[in-house]
A and B are shown apart, each in its own frame.
Chain A
């Protein structure tokens, strides 16, 4: 018996996430008292999210959008299609509590740095990062043959500015990424919605797959959890009465 109070958030287009109270406690209780149910829940969740995960993996280009990105020279994360595909997966580890006090216990993650770059490139700056605020760097040098000298080069400042000597590098990078996959906002503005629309749910891989899913996976996940909760309550003969409940 659980206290189902319905969804807290309104069912906008793929509104996410669903707030369920007590999932964390349920997972702990399952691990302690019904490990078989815990394993079954994991299997159900994997099955429920497999469609989105599979689609997202399918959006990963086989080769790097810019050929040199896959060569791995420098500190910039190297593009590896296989690695990116492998780490797009379901995670049931609880996330950090965000500034609003929420933590997530069922997530689809894109945990690779290069994958994250491909996922979000152009999300904030569709034309690439600007190349402004260049400055000249002068490094004094001393050589045995030529004596005292200096090394000069131009660079841009700040993390919000491109540092390439190519002023069009940012645009070229975003264009190349767009050529292999379009940015899709899984939480678009709905009719009548006012105010700011977040771009945090925009991406080329998991967000695109999530947008295409139309909330089916979310429902499946909720159903799996509620089913497990019911099984657990039943298994404990009603002792556990305050299981998972949808927040009011």
Chain B
């Protein structure tokens, strides 16, 4: 049944249009956004939000300061305290260029510094880590940690970055080779990622955070002044007090607007001013804030500065600005790192060697266990009495070919096999004593083979034929077997004789018509033309030649027929020819008296068809004259 749109809709229901739904969804989202924005806006201008913002800003500053202190301490402990500013600048720089946050960069640099002991090496690896992290969408800190691990030989963490290398390849390559591979695959990825929208947003976020941290630092100092001698606790209390006061001020302002009519003209005037010069209003506020800040900074200059890091720092001891000392310290740190890495490499090598030794020992133990198992089997079947008997029969084994009965052969074979087993056991014991793995394996295999032979000989169902084959293997081969040699010579003689006959036959003259007495002279024939001549001749000439050859052949055939007819006539006119018919009568009678019986072998089939076939054969024979009468 086809589905058509021909219908009468009696009851309809509005289920909503897709466009309406989309509009509803959009409006709902917009409402939520506006609501959220409104609440944020309200919060932003509320005293509590202001207090929270100040606290948050100061907290960011504190976090950043803690990170900086950690990094500085790491560098300082490595004896590279003079590189701390350079390192901090580097961390800030990658934040501005690539959006790497401080809480990512600082742990990463700490990890790298710890293993390399060199700022330049660490920054070099960090640059590669930035590219790798950008190309694989990974966290920079994690990537740097994995690279730091790889620097000391632990390449396990690099598997997740899909470098196209197997675990074995990663572990077999040096760190420099791995860095080259990573560089080849990811060079420039960080720059490209930074140019993308998300990268730009990350950079913007990081720059904002840095600004926030700086503002937080300023606020901290400012509030420190407000807090006085109570320190941070006093600052927190000051922030709360400030926010409460601001809230009260806003509430009072609202009350003023609502209750006191005087405030309304002020508000109207302020509204007009805002409406006329919205941007200048903000500018004025900004200028005022800057002026206040400038006054604060001027006052701050008169106060003694407190260093953030109060630990042991570098102070140049010579007139060249401490260049030599710094270079010496750098060199020392790098050498210490190299020495540590060498020790680490040696440790890894020793571990690998010990692991290989353990494997070798285990393999040897396995071989010995197998050998012991085979020895156990061998001793099960070994009997010293039988060996003694076999030893007494060793000489008889040499006369094995002269054994007259199968029982004797079997007995000799058993004894020889047992002796072989004993010999293999002794060989295996020697190999085990020498701890020669290959020899143990070979001797075990030999023993197993001998045991198999012995098993075949001692088995109840052992066939005599297989025993004979075993005996043939045990029997020493004669260098020259006279019987075989005689037989071979006889065959060669026969072959030579047949070859001689064939050669004589090949040299015999081919009988010709003249030699056969046909009367055709020797050499009287038209030689067949060669292919080359035929190819050069015309078609007519070839046809003429063919006609001539045919005519000549016919003439000779006629001549031969005439010769035959003449000889037949001569025979019939001779006394040898019997025209009485006695001979033919005799033959017929003889055949009839003997009663010829023809046995026809047929398959299973239709009797009528067989009978018809027989009849057909007989009829054809009669027609040919080979059968006179049936």
Is A185 close to B, CB under 8 A? no
Identify which of B6-14, B203-211, B495-503 touches chain A. Answer: B6-14
Instruction: Tell me the number of A-to-B contacts counted with CB atoms below 8 Å.
Output: 110
B7 touches A108 (CB 8 A): yes
CB-CB contacts below 8 Å: B1-28 with A: 1-17, 20
Identify which of A98-106, A132-140, A151-159 touches chain B. Answer: A98-106
Is A87 close to B, CB under 8 A? yes
> Smallest distance from the beta carbon of B24 to chain A beta carbons, Å?
12
> Smallest distance from the beta carbon of B602 to chain A beta carbons, Å?
54
Number of B residues, CB within 8 Å of A: 18
A47 to B8, CA, bound (A): 16
> Smallest distance from the beta carbon of B23 to chain A beta carbons, Å?
12
Identify which of A28-36, A188-196, A216-224 touches chain B. Answer: A216-224
B1 touches A112 (CB 8 A): yes
A77 partner residues in chain B, CB cutoff 8 A: 2
- Given A77-B2, A110-B4, A113-B4, A101-B11 contact (CB < 8 Å): no
A218 touches B12 (CB 8 A): no
A19 touches B13 (CB 8 A): yes
Partner of B11, one of A106, A116, A186: A106
Partner of B14, one of A115, A119, A225, A247: A247
> Smallest distance from the beta carbon of A120 to chain B beta carbons, Å?
7
Q: Can you name the residue of chain A whose Cβ is closest to the Cβ of B2?
A: A113
B15 touches A101 (CB 8 A): yes
Is A24 close to B, CB under 8 A? yes
> Smallest distance from the beta carbon of B358 to chain A beta carbons, Å?
72
Q: Can you name the residue of chain B whose Cβ is closest to the Cβ of A25?
A: B13
Identify which of A64-72, A168-176, A202-210, A230-238 touches chain B. Answer: A202-210
- Given A101-B17, A103-B15, A111-B10 contact (CB < 8 Å): no
A154 to B480, CA, bound (A): 104
Partner of B13, one of A16, A20, A49, A52: A20
Number of A residues, CB within 8 Å of B: 47
A23 touches B11 (CB 8 A): yes
A108 touches B8 (CB 8 A): yes
Is A2 close to B, CB under 8 A? no
Contact mask for chain A residues 85-111; partner B; CB cutoff 8 A; 1 contact, 0 none: 001000100010101111111111111
Partner of A87, one of B1, B5, B20: B1
Partner of A112, one of B4, B11, B13: B4
A207 touches B8 (CB 8 A): yes
Is A21 close to B, CB under 8 A? yes
Which of A97, A100, A101, A111 has the most CB atoms of chain B within a 10 A radius of its CB? Answer: A101
Is A18 close to B, CB under 8 A? yes
B17 touches A95 (CB 8 A): no
A221 partner residues in chain B, CB cutoff 8 A: 10-11
- Given A77-B2, A103-B15, A109-B10 contact (CB < 8 Å): no
A6 partner residues in chain B, CB cutoff 8 A: none
**A-B contacts, 11 listed (Cβ < 8 Å):** A17-B9, A21-B14, A23-B11, A101-B15, A104-B9, A106-B10, A107-B8, A111-B4, A115-B6, A203-B6, A206-B7
| Apart from the given pairs A17-B9, A99-B17, A107-B10, 9 other A-B contacts in the complex at a CB distance below 8 Å | A16-B8, A19-B12, A97-B16, A100-B17, A101-B14, A102-B13, A103-B15, A109-B7, A116-B6
**Leading 10 A-B pairs by shortest Cβ distance:** A104-B9, A101-B17, A113-B2, A17-B12, A106-B11, A116-B4, A17-B9, A109-B7, A110-B6, A106-B10
